[in-house]
Amino acid sequence: MEHYKYFTNEQCEYFPCHQTRGTFFNCLFCYCPLYFLEEKCGGKFVYKNGVKVCTHCTIPHTEGGYDYIIGVIKKVNDEKRGANEPK
């Protein structure tokens, strides 16, 4: 695994903030960069009083989480770039 895709902070007062399977827990995206994407993030979330609550989403903390998040960011950027191209 590429080391830039992963780290665990076992000293964090909230560790582990989510329950995951196994011993792998990635803290790199502690605050998920997909939070503001509303429906396009692909994670398990609910809205409570107009606030997106991601308590049940573990995507950022899984082994494939880094690649998934970077892939979504690239897709959204490509969509935005395509929408801004002159016709």
pLDDT tens digits for range 28-57: 998 999 999 987 899 999 999 999 999 889
pLDDT at 20 over 80: no
Q: How does DSSP assign 4-66, residue by residue? A: GG----TTSTT-SSS--SSS----TTSS-TTGGGGGGG-S--EEETTEEE-TT--GGGSTTHH
Token pair recorded at residue 49: 């009083």
Point out the least confidently predicted range of 8-22, 41-55, 58-72.
Answer: 8-22
Full-prediction pTM beyond 0.85? Answer: no
CA distance 35 to 19: 19
